[in-house]
Amino acid sequence: MSLVTQLRGVGYSFVFGFLFTFIYHFINFYIFKIKFRLFRYIMQAVIGVMFAGIYFIGLLAINDGIIRLYFLCVMLMGYVVYQNIFSEKLYPVIIMINQGIHFILTPFRIVFCRINGIIEHTKKVIRWQNQESKKQSNQ
């Protein structure tokens, strides 16, 4: 493997470790709101497998998928750099992205809340009609 290919692999591993940790931090921001623990663990496992596949596909494009130990060490360095230096500084970015997603999805929430309100009102009317029919049949 040539030196240029090795440097590309090392750079890709570092950037991937950094970005993977940022994206994983962002996704966990939502996953920890889920109350059902088993679903949360399954989601984390699926995300880990998905990121491992993305990493291998990237290495496949760079150096035919050869994974060296120093690639994994450099990816771990990217993780450590993010956790120790950038995690506190990029947390406001995660909050801003969350607010942007919330802003985009607000009209959909309003529509679904209105539909839910219509359904609840319909259920109340049906219960009321059932109670009225039971009262009339008992008399």
Categorise residue 65: left if φ over 0, alpha if ψ from -120 to 50, beta otherwise. Answer: left
Q: What is the mean pLDDT of the chain?
A: 84
Given a cut of 70, is residue 61 above it in pLDDT? yes
- In this prediction, residue 50 has a pLDDT band, given cuts at 50, 70 and 90, of very high
pLDDT the model gives residue 15: 92
CA nearest neighbour of 55 among 1, 14, 4: 14
Given a cut of 80, is residue 71 above it in pLDDT? yes
CA 119 vs CA 15, 106, 133: distances in Å: 49, 20, 21
pLDDT the model gives residue 16: 92
Cβ neighbors of 103 (< 8 A, separation 6 or more) are: none
Averaged pLDDT, 37-42:
84
- In this prediction, residue 95 has a pLDDT band, given cuts at 50, 70 and 90, of confident
Instruction: Write the DSSP assignment of 45-62 as a string of letters.
Output: HHHHHHHHHHHHHHHHHH
